[in-house]
Amino acid sequence: MITEKELGPVAVQWCSDAQPVTFAHLAAALAAAREGLDLLPLSKTEHRWLDAMLAGEDAEAWAAKNLEQRGIWTVPYQVGAIINELIIRPVSEDAGGRERGQALPGDPVGPPGP
């Protein structure tokens, strides 16, 4: 089971094309993601749904459970006709702050390892 101490650092990425942003703790990452909702052109329904996923009383526990069991937490959302994913994943401290599976510039491109 992940403990409070193990809930960071984590990287947050609003879609696969965006650069991830690293936060020291999961709680800070969720708070920042909630603030970012107002910057997206979301429908009221999408905004309410994402806000509930990120700010509900069980949001941090749900995110931590996904990080523990799957190593990633993805939350789908839609902007117009485009489907995206909010991606939260642990940052590997032994990889110089990179996300797990994230290649260095010049590394061969391929599917991420297990």
Average pLDDT, the chain: 80
pTM for the full predicted model: 0.73
Whether 97 has a pLDDT exceeding 50, the answer reads no
The predicted model gives 62-86 an average pLDDT of 93
SS3 of residue 45 by DSSP: helix
**H or E stretch covering 13:** strand 10-13
For residue 109, the model assigns a pLDDT of 35
Tens-place pLDDT, residues 15-71: 888 899 999 999 999 999 999 999 999 999 999 999 999 998 899 999 999 999 999
Give residue 1's identity as a one-letter amino acid code: M
